[in-house]
Amino acid sequence: MLLKDLTGDAALAATELETEITGLSADSRTVGEGYLFAALKGARSDGTDFIDAACDAGASAVLVAADTPFDVLERVSGRCPVILSDDPRRALALMAARFHAGQPEKLVAVTGTSGKTSVAVFTRQIFAFAGLEAASLGTIGTVTSRGAHYGGLTTPDPVTLHETLAELDRDGITHAALEASSHGLDQRRLDGLRLCAAGFTNLGRDHLDYHASVGEYLQAKLRLFDTLLDPGRPVVVEPSAPYADAIMEVARACGHPLFTVGEGGEDLSLVDIRHEGFEQVLSLETPEGSREVRLPLAGRFQVSNALIAAGLAICAGVERDVALSALEHLEGAPGRLERVGETDDGALVFVDYAHKPDALDTALAALRPFTKGRLVVVFGAGGDRDKGKRPLMGEAAARQADVVIVTDDNPRGEDPAEIRAEILAAAPGALEIPDRHAAIEAAVGMLQDGDVLCIAGKGHETGQIVGDQVLPFSDHEAARAAIASAAEAALFAAASEDTDGSGLDLDLAGAFEEELSASAGLEAETDEAQDAASGEEAEPVLADDDDFEALLGELVMEGRETSASGTGGEDDLFADEDGSTPDEEPIAAPAQAQETGSDDTDDTDDDALDVLLDDIVSESSPFDAADETVQEAAPETEGASAPLVSLSEDDLLADLADDQEVGDQESVDHDRADLAGAAADDGHPEADVFEAELLALHAGSESEPEQELADATAEESTFEAEAEAEAEAEAEAEAEAEAEAEAEAEA
C-alpha cells in the first residue's frame, strides 16, 4: 500500500507519498523491509530512541508525535519519510484499519470493569445459536465456532487487532463481539472499528495504577460511546448498574438510541428471579410480551451479563425470541465462576477470574445461596498493579467467606510477602499460605459436605508471573489435582472401616492402586512442567512394580505420620510447633502440596491399613514390610512366627542404602553388621533365607550370600567383644579411683 493511501491525509506526510509500505509495527524488533515504524512514547520507554534501529532494519517511513524534538526529526528525515501527528496512537490505529481493511459485517463491543469476557463470549454463543458464523475477541483470546485461535491481552495492539479482524473476515466470520478495556480505549487501540452497537456492564475500582482516578477511568470508558460508536448506533445498558446513568447521558448526547435491560430496563425488563439448583429462572417483560427464561448459570451478575449479551445480539439483527432462547443454552466463559470439580464429600470447587474488590464480592455473593456449609475462598493480588484495592479485596473476602486463605497471585516485580500483608491487614483471621499450589491443596483438604470453595484471581490463566518469568500454573489443574488427592485420602479412610477382621475387599485395593497410579502420573507430569521452568531434569515416571511399592510405602507412612500429629483447628492448621507459620518457599519452585490428617485415628485404622498393604504389595515383595505402628494388627497365636522385618530393621535397610549411595564404606560395614545381628534373632526362624536375600539385594556384594552373612556375623561378634573389653576397663578404672579417694579421706 502506498504511503499516501495509508495516511488518508496527504498533509500528514512530509515527502515521498508514493513510498510503498509493506507492514506496520510499533516494535523496532519486528520491523521488516518496507515497514512503517510508529515511534510511540510508552510508560517505560520512548519509541524515538529506537528509530535508528528501525531504519537499519529496513523501515521505509516513521510515524512520530508532532511535538518530537527538532534534532530527532532532522536526524530521521535524512533516512526515510517522517509522518507527524498530534495523536500518533490514533493515527497508527487508523492506518492499521486501512492496511488490514476487512472486518466482520456486524461488530459489537462491550466495556466495563467486570463482565466483559462473559458478555463477549455469550454474545458469540447467541450469534452461533442463530446460525451465524461468529467470533469473540478478548482476555481468553480469539474464539470462533471452529475453536480458539490464540490468546492475548484484553484488547490487542491496533495492528494485531485489525489484522485479526481481517483474517476473521476472510474466513467467513460475519459477526463478532469484542472486549473494550480502558487501556485499549485510552491508547486508541480500537480506533478504526466499524461498530454496529456497544454495551456497558458496570464500573468499579480497577486499574488505578494506570488511571489517576475513578473519574479518569470513567472517561476512558466513555470513549467507546462518544468517539468510536457512530451516531445512531444503539447502546445496551442496565440502568441499575453502577455509573450507568453517566453512560446513558453521554449516549443521548451523542445520538445513540438506548436498549435497556435488567432491573429498570424497558427492552428486556427483569421482573423476577427464581433459583432452581444452579439454574436461575428469569421472568422477563419485553415490548412483545412476557417471557420466562431458564438461565443455566449461577449468580445475579450472570443475569446482567446474559441480558446485555442478548441486547447486543438483538441490536446486531438477531430476532428477540431467538436471542432469549439462546440464553437457555449458554455456557460460562472459562474461569468465570467455573465449576471445576466436586469432592467425594460433596463439596463444590469453582475457579473465578475475580481480581478486583467488586468482582470478588460479587463472585462470593453468587456462591452463598448454594453453600449449605462453609464458603471458602483462596485468592491473592497481582504485583505492579493498583495497591489500593488489596485491603478492599481482603475486606470483601472477610465479609463474604467463612474461611479466607490468602496466597500469591502474579507477584511480578513486587515482594509477594508485602502484597499478602496488605491484604491480610484487612482480613483478620485469614490464613496465609504463600505457595498457591499448597493453598489450593489445603483448601480442598478442609472441605466437608455442603462446603463451597472459590479459587479467585487467575481464572483462565495458565501461567504465574514471578519477576520477569511466566511459570506454568493453572488453577484448574491445581484444583483437580487436589480433588484427586482428597479422593485418594478417602480410599484410605474407606479401607480403615473394614470391621470383619478378615481383610479388605480386593476391589477396594484395586481401586486404590488405580488411583495411586493416576496420581503418580499426574504428579510426574506436574513435576516435569515445573522442572522445565526451573531448568532441572525431571525425575523418571514409575516404571515397574518395585517403584510402585516404594511410592506406596512412602505415601502410607506420610499419611500415618500426619494423622498421628493431628490438628488443633483451622487457625493453627499450618503453624509450626512454636505457633508461627512456615517460612515462605521460593516461588520459582512451588512446594509440594501439604497433606493434613484427622485427630481420631485408632488401632483399628492401622490394622485395616496393614491388611491393605498385604493385599497390594505381598505378591511381588521379596519380604514383608510391616512397620511398628501396625505390629498389633495380627495378634500372635501359638506357633505363629513374628513379622520378618521390624521397624528397626527397616531403618537399618534405609541406612544401608543411603550409606552405599554416598560411598561411606565404614558406615556400610556397620550397617551390615547391625542387620546380621537383627536377622539372627531367635524370633526369626527364616532369618537365614531372608538375610541371604537381603544381602544380595541391598549390600551390592558379588560374593556368596552365606559367606557374606558369616563375615557380617563375625564382625558383629568382634564389635561386641571390643565393647565388653572397654566396659571392663572402665569399671576397673572407676574402682581404682574410688580406692584412692578412700585412702586420701583416711589420711
* Residue keyed to cell 536377622: 679
Q: Which of 499, 212, 451 is nearest to 349 (CA)?
A: 451
Residue 121 has pLDDT above 70, yes or no: yes
CA dihedral defined by 603, 608, 611, 615, rounded to 10 degrees?
-160
**Of the candidate ranges 252-256, 523-527, 669-673, the one whose mean pLDDT is the lowest:** 523-527
Cα–Cα distance for residue pair 33/672, rounded to 1 Å: 74
Please report, rounded to a whole number, the percentage of residues in the chain having pLDDT higher than 70: 63
Higher pLDDT, 630 or 529: 529
User: Closest Cα to residue 593, out of 548, 542, 558, 556?
Assistant: 558
SS3 247: helix
DSSP string, 79-131: TS-EEEESSHHHHHHHHHHHHS----SEEEEEESSS-HHHHHHHHHHHHHHTT
User: How would you classify the pairing of strands 197-200 and 175-179?
Assistant: unpaired
Distances (CA, A) of 729 to 722, 732, 743: 11, 5, 21
pLDDT in the model for residue 271 = 97
d(CA 177, CA 107): 6
pLDDT at 333: 87
Instruction: Judge whether 144 and 184 are in contact, CB under 8 Å.
Output: no
Average pLDDT of 431-456?
A: 97
- As a whole number, mean pLDDT of residues 66-80 equals 87
**Residue 474, phi then psi, degrees to nearest 5:** -140, 125
In this prediction the pTM is: 0.61
568 vs 550, residue with greater confidence: 550
Residue 497 confidence (pLDDT): 63
DSSP 610-676: HHHHHHHHTTT-SS----GGGGGGS---TTPPPPSS-HHHHHHHHHHHHHHHHT-HHHHHHHHHHHH
**Spatial contact of 293 and 282, defined as CB atoms under 8 Å apart:** yes
CB 454 within 8 A of CB 426: no
User: Among candidates 301, 245, 362, which has minimal Cα distance to 122?
Assistant: 301
Q: Which residue has the higher pLDDT, 455 or 337?
A: 455
Helix %, strand %, coil % for the chain, to 5?
45, 15, 40
Strand 452-456 vs strand 375-379: parallel, antiparallel, or unpaired?
Answer: parallel
Question: Which of 25-39, 296-310, 526-540, 614-628 shows the lowest mean pLDDT across its residues?
Answer: 614-628
pLDDT in the model for residue 140: 86
From 73, 91, 119, select the one nearest 238 (Cα to Cα).
Answer: 119
Mean pLDDT for the chain overall: 76
Nearest Cα to Cα of residue 672 among 711, 644, 625, 646: 711
Helix (H) or strand (E) holding 35, with range, is strand 35-38
Q: Which of 328, 368, 374, 332 is nearest to 353 (CA)?
A: 332
The average pLDDT across 261-284 equals: 94
Q: Give burial (CB, 10 Å; 0-12/13-18/19+) of 205.
A: middle
Across-strand partners of 136?
Answer: 143, 177
Calpha distance 568→37 (Å, rounded): 64
Q: How would you list the strands of the sheet with 289-295, edge to edge?
A: 147-148, 141-144, 134-138, 175-179, 106-111, 197-200, 235-237, 258-262, 268-276, 279-286, 289-295
Cα–Cα dist 600/612, whole Å: 19
Average pLDDT over residues 157-183: 94
Are 476 and 467 spatial neighbours (Cβ–Cβ below 8 Å)? no
Contact 192, 158 (CB under 8 A): yes
The C-alpha cell at 630 is: 501396625
For 37-76, the DSSP string reads EE--B-SS-BGGGGHHHHHHTT-SEEEEETT--HHHHHHH
Kindly compute the dihedral angle of the four CA atoms of residues 674, 676, 679, 685, in this order, to the nearest 10 degrees.
-160
Q: Which helix (H) or strand (E) covers residue 4, if one does?
A: helix 3-7
Give SS3 for 377.
strand
Q: What is the pLDDT of residues 634-675, one digit of tens each?
A: 333 333 333 333 334 555 565 666 666 555 666 656 666 665
Query: Is residue 183's pLDDT more than 70?
Result: yes
* Residue length of the chain: 747
Question: Highest-confidence range of 411-425, 480-494, 522-536, 648-662, by mean pLDDT?
Answer: 411-425
Q: Is residue 723 scored above 80 in pLDDT?
A: no
Q: What is the DSSP string of 265-300?
A: -SSEEEEEEEEETTEEEEEEEETTEEEEEEE---SH
* Contact (Cβ atoms closer than 8 angstroms) between residue 256 and residue 248: no
Please state, in angstroms and as integers, the Cα–Cα distance from residue 67 to each residue in 70, 85, 186, 404, 455, following that order. 8, 9, 19, 52, 48
Q: Write out pLDDT tens, residues 527-539.
A: 444 444 444 444 3
Dihedral, 160, 161, 164, 169 alpha carbons, nearest 10 = -150
State mean pLDDT over 77-84: 86
The pLDDT value given to residue 417: 97
The pLDDT of residue 393 is above 80: yes
Q: What pLDDT is attached to residue 516?
A: 47
Q: Which domains does the chain have, with CATH numbers?
A: 3-96 (3.40.1390.10), 101-327 (3.40.1190.10), 338-565 (3.90.190.20), 645-747 (no CATH)
pLDDT of residue 664: 60
The Cα 288–Cα 266 span in angstroms is: 11
**How far, in Å, CA of 501 to CA of 608, rounded?**
8
- pLDDT band for position 65 (cuts 50, 70, 90): very high
481: pLDDT strictly greater than 90: yes
Q: Which residues partner with 682 through β-bridges? A: none
User: What mean pLDDT is predicted for residues 503-511?
Assistant: 46
**Distance, CA of 461 to CA of 382 (rounded, Å):** 13
Q: Which amino acid type is present at position 245?
A: D
The pairing of strands 268-276 and 258-262 is: parallel
Instruction: Give the pLDDT mean for 592-614.
Output: 38
- For 259-266, what is the mean pLDDT? 96
pLDDT band at 91 (very low <50, low <70, confident <90, very high): very high
Distance CA 713, CA 442 (A): 49
Q: Which segments of 505-598 does DSSP mark as H helices, in order?
A: 506-534, 545-565
- In this predicted model, which residue has the larger pLDDT, 557 or 88? 88
Helix (H) or strand (E) holding 726: helix 705-746
Residue 198, strand partner residues:
109, 235
| C-alpha 644 chain-centroid distance | 47
